[in-house]
């Protein structure tokens, strides 16, 4: 099963930023990988591992902000779709204005 953690933490004060960095660092150290900004995911083998991870996340959560946890099966996670927009660039990759001396 996959555990996905979503968080929205304040970063207005220095203390808020410190707690944000500490929470994010602890997520990475415990094996979470970033899917998107403020969305992290980890593969867990069973309910016992899930319960201990939830207890760990409750112990490291910052005092302020919102942290959400959702658990889905590996089959559900494998059916996720990635919608990527077309990238645009201001760099012209053409030799139309090339001057040979």
8 A C-beta contact, residue 69 and residue 7: no
Domain spans, the chain = 2-78
How far is it, in rounded angstroms, from Cα 39 to Cα 67? 10
Cβ-count burial of 19 within 10 angstroms (0-12 exposed, 13-18 middle, 19+ buried)? buried
CA angle 6, 11, 15 (to 5 degrees): 115
Q: Does domain 2-78 have CATH number 3.40.50.300?
A: no
pLDDT in tens, 40-94: 999 999 999 999 999 999 999 999 999 999 999 999 999 988 888 777 766 656 6
Whether the model clears a pTM of 0.85, i.e. scores above it, the answer is no
């Amino acid at each position: 099963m996959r555990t996905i953690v979503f968080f929205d933490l304040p970063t207005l004060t220095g203390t808020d930023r410190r707690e944000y960095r500490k929470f994010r660092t602890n997520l990475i150290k415990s094996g979470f990988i970033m899917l998107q900004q403020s969305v992290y995911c980890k593969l867990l083998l069973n309910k016992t591992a899930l319960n201990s991870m939830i207890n760990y996340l409750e112990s490291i959560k910052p005092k302020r902000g919102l942290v959400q946890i959702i658990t889905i099966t590996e089959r559900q996670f494998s059916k996720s779709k990635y919608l990527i927009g077309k990238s645009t660039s201001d760099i012209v990759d053409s030799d139309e204005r090339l001057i040979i001396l």
